[in-house]
Amino acid sequence: MLSGQIIARGIDATRTIEAMCSVPRHAFLPEHSLKAAYRDRPQRIGHGQTISQPYIIALMTSQLEELPRDSRILEIGSGCGYQTAILVQMGFEVHALEIVPELVEHSSEVLRELNLSPASLACADGRAGLPSTAPFSAVLSAACPIEAPITWIDQLSLGGILVAPIGTRSDQHLVRMEKDADDVILTKTLCPVRFVPLV
């Protein structure tokens, strides 16, 4: 998976690759998806949700590559917990939100078994972010809003990074936003994507 789908496509972020090498993707998937766990495509995890393809997870995570260990990260739409585990493995202080209670319950159990539990994992509306724990060095979303909620931007520290799909159900792009020292948001479009909508 790593050599053929990620490194071969230009991602050379060492910490990201090492974390993805350490975290067993199949542990987070339902039994019917196990044979396809390491293929480069999204997989259904139930409740109308999916786990992103490995390349997209690597691309999103690599945007945080240069952040120091213990940086505080807000993850929106943690789903089955795979991305959460990778961020924890990289040494970040991860605060994850997921709106589907069954996914929160299942991912909490898997993360605990792997000794990769985040600092917090809550069932909550991701649009509001987590103001009680802000500011964050990064906000990473696996659900797509039409535009970035101002709450996410407000909860970024100066120099903070927001990585999220932005757009409509049929027209989405993965975007990196960075809040510079003057509180100006610098935006870079990374690639077209298709994520579940932020609800």
User: How many C-beta neighbours within 10 Å does residue 82 have?
Assistant: 28
Side chain identity, residue 116: L
In single-letter form, the type of residue at position 5 comes to Q
Name the nearest CA neighbour of 122 among 148, 102, 147, 95.
95
For 80, 88, 163, the CA distances from 111, given in Å and listed in that order, are 9, 10, 23
Q: Identify whether 78 is a catalytic site residue.
A: no
**For the residues of 80-141, what is the DSSP string, one character each?**
TSHHHHHHHHTT-EEEEEES-HHHHHHHHHHHHHTT---SEEEE--GGG--TTT--EEEEEE
Q: Do residues 154 and 130 make contact, with C-beta atoms less than 8 angstroms apart?
A: no
For helices 54-62 and 14-22, what crossing angle results, to 10°?
A: 140
* Pair of tokens at residue 45: 């995890």
List 33, 52, 62, 108, catalytic entry: 52
DSSP symbol at 21: H
Residues designated as active site: 52
